[in-house]
C-alpha cells in the first residue's frame, strides 16, 4: 500500500485525537492564541451586523486570526474532500444503521448524510428543523456557554478550568437527550 | 504588510486542523450519533486523547516557561463560572446532536462539498446574534 492510499483511510482516534490536541500548543506558541472556534461566529456578527448591540461593540479586527483559522478549516475541508477522501462508504454501528433505515436513511457514502442534509430537504419540516433549527441552537448555545467543544472541552480542560468541565458535561447531557429522546421523533417527520 | 502575511500562519493551522477533522470523521453526523448513542468509542477517544495531549502541552509550557516564537510569555485565560455554562451548554448539546457538528466541523463540512451546511452556519451566526441581543435578559 502506498503512502497516499494509507492516508486516504479514515484515521483512528489515537492518531487524530493527539493531533487535534497539538492545536493547543501550536496556537499558543505561534501567536499566544487560545484555541477556540465558536468566537468566530461572534466576530462575524460584530463585523457584519453589530446593530449597536453592546455584545458586538469591540474591536473584532484584533481577533481576525480567529476568522483566518476558521477560513483555514474550510480550506482543509476542501483539500481533504477533494484529494484525501475515502472512496468507500463509512462503516457505522449495525444498531444505528438499523434505526436509520427505519427513517429511510441508507446512504453512508458521505460524512454528512446526503438524504438528510440537501437543498431540497430545506423545504421540508424535518430538513428545516435539522439545518436551520439545529444551527440556531449551536450558535445560541455555544455563545451562551462561552465556548464550544474546542474552547471549553479541549482548551478549557487542558488548562484545568472547572467551569469548562461543567460546560462539557452539559454539552454531553444535551446531546444524549437529543439523540435518544427527541431526534428519533424529528427523524420520523 | 508583513503583519498581514504573518497572519497567514493561522490560515495554515486551520487548514491542517480541517484536514484532520475530515480524516478522523469527527465532522460526520454518523459518528456524532454513535457517540451520543454510546455505540462507538471513536469520538470519546478523539476528544479524550486531544484533552490529554493539550493538558500535557500546557503543563510543559508552564513547567519549562516555553516562550512564543515572538519571545513572549504564554498567557492563559481563566474561566469564571456562570449559569450560562449550564443552560448554554445544554442548548448547544441539543443542537450538536441534530446537526452532527459543532462550530468547527460546520466549516469543514461546507468544504467537503455539503454546500447546504451554509444554511446551518448562517443559522448558527443568527443564534449567536440573538444571544447577543438578549444577553442582558438571560440568566447567567
Question: What are A141-189's pLDDT values in tens digits?
Answer: 999 999 999 999 999 999 999 999 999 999 999 999 999 999 999 999 9
Say whether pTM exceeds 0.90.
Answer: yes
Q: Residues of A with CB below 8 A from B32's CB?
A: 175, 179
Mean of the per-residue pLDDT values of chain A: 94
Burial of A94 (0-12, 13-18, 19+ CB in 10 A): exposed
Cβ A41–B103 below 8 Å, yes or no? yes
Q: pLDDT value at position B2? A: 65
**Neighbouring-strand partners of residue B67:** B73
pLDDT of B1 > 90? The answer is: no
Which residue did the predictor score with more confidence, A70 or A5?
A70
For chain B, say whether A36 makes contact (Cβ under 8 Å). no
Q: pLDDT value at position A86? A: 82
Q: pLDDT value at position B127? A: 98
Cβ–Cβ under 8 Å, residues B115 and A88: no
* DSSP designation for A106: -
Which of B18, B35, B81 minimises the CB distance to A72? B18
Q: pLDDT value at position B94? A: 98
The Cα–Cα gap between A176 and B93 comes to 8
How far does the CA of residue A2 sit from the closest CA of chain B (Å)? 17
The Cα–Cα gap between A186 and A171 comes to 20
Residue A172 CA to its chain's centroid (Å): 14
Give the residue-averaged pLDDT of A109-118.
93
Cβ–Cβ under 8 Å, residues B89 and A167: yes
Cβ A31–B10 below 8 Å, yes or no? yes
Locus of grid cell 447577543: B132
**Quick one: pLDDT band at residue A39, thresholds 50, 70, 90?**
very high
What does the pLDDT look like over B113-140, one tens digit per residue?
999 999 999 999 999 999 999 999 999 9
The Cα–Cα gap between A31 and A165 comes to 26
pLDDT of A88 > 90? The answer is: no
Give the residue-averaged pLDDT of B65-71.
94
Which of B66, B96, B111 minimises the CB distance to A75? B111
What does the pLDDT look like over B13-67, one tens digit per residue?
999 999 999 999 999 999 999 999 999 999 999 999 999 999 999 999 999 999 9
The Cα–Cα gap between B53 and B50 comes to 5
Cβ B54–A24 below 8 Å, yes or no? yes
Sequence-separated (6 or more) residues with CB below 8 Å from residue A5: none
Query: Angle between the B84-99 and A162-177 helix axes, to the nearest 10 degrees?
Result: 40
Which residue did the predictor score with more confidence, B77 or A3?
B77
Percent of chain A having pLDDT more than 70? 99
Amino acid at each position: 500500500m502506498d503512502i497516499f492510499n494509507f492516508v486516504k483511510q479514515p484515521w483512528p482516534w489515537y492518531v487524530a485525537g493527539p493531533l487535534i490536541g497539538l492545536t493547543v500548543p501550536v496556537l499558543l506558541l505561534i501567536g499566544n492564541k487560545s484555541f477556540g472556534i465558536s468566537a468566530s461566529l461572534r466576530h462575524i456578527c460584530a463585523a457584519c451586523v453589530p446593530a449597536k448591540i453592546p455584545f458586538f461593540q469591540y474591536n473584532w479586527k484584533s481577533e481576525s486570526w480567529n476568522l483566518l483559522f476558521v477560513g483555514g478549516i474550510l480550506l482543509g475541508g476542501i483539500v481533504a474532500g477533494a484529494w484525501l477522501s475515502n472512496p468507500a462508504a463509512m462503516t457505522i454501528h449495525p444498531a444505528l444503521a438499523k434505526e436509520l433505515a427505519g427513517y429511510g436513511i441508507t446512504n453512508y457514502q458521505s460524512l454528512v448524510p446526503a438524504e438528510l442534509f440537501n437543498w431540497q430537504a430545506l423545504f421540508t419540516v424535518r430538513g428545516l428543523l435539522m439545518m436551520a433549527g439545529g444551527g440556531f441552537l449551536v450558535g445560541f448555545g455555544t455563545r451562551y456557554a462561552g465556548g464550544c467543544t474546542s474552547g471549553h472541552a479541549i482548551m478549557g480542560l487542558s488548562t484545568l478550568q472547572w467551569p469548562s468541565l461543567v460546560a462539557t458535561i452539559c454539552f454531553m447531557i444535551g446531546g444524549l437527550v437529543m439523540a435518544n429522546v427527541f431526534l428519533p421523533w424529528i427523524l420520523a417527520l | 504588510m508583513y503583519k498581514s502575511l504573518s497572519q497567514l500562519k493561522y490560515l495554515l493551522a486551520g487548514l491542517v486542523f480541517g484536514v484532520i477533522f475530515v480524516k478522523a470523521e469527527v465532522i460526520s453526523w454518523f459518528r456524532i450519533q454513535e457517540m451520543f448513542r454510546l455505540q462507538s468509542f471513536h469520538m470519546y477517544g478523539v476528544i479524550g486523547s486531544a484533552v490529554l495531549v493539550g493538558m500535557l502541552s500546557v503543563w510543559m509550557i508552564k513547567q519549562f516557561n516555553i516562550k512564543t516564537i515572538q519571545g513572549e510569555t504564554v498567557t492563559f485565560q481563566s474561566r469564571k463560572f456562570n449559569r450560562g455554562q449550564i443552560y448554554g451548554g445544554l442548548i448547544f448539546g441539543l443542537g450538536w446532536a441534530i446537526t452532527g457538528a459543532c462550530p468547527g466541523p460546520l466549516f469543514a463540512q461546507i468544504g467537503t462539498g455539503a454546500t447546504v451546511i451554509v444554511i446551518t452556519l448562517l443559522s448558527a451566526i443568527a443564534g449567536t446574534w440573538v444571544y447577543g441581543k438578549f444577553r442582558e435578559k438571560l440568566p447567567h
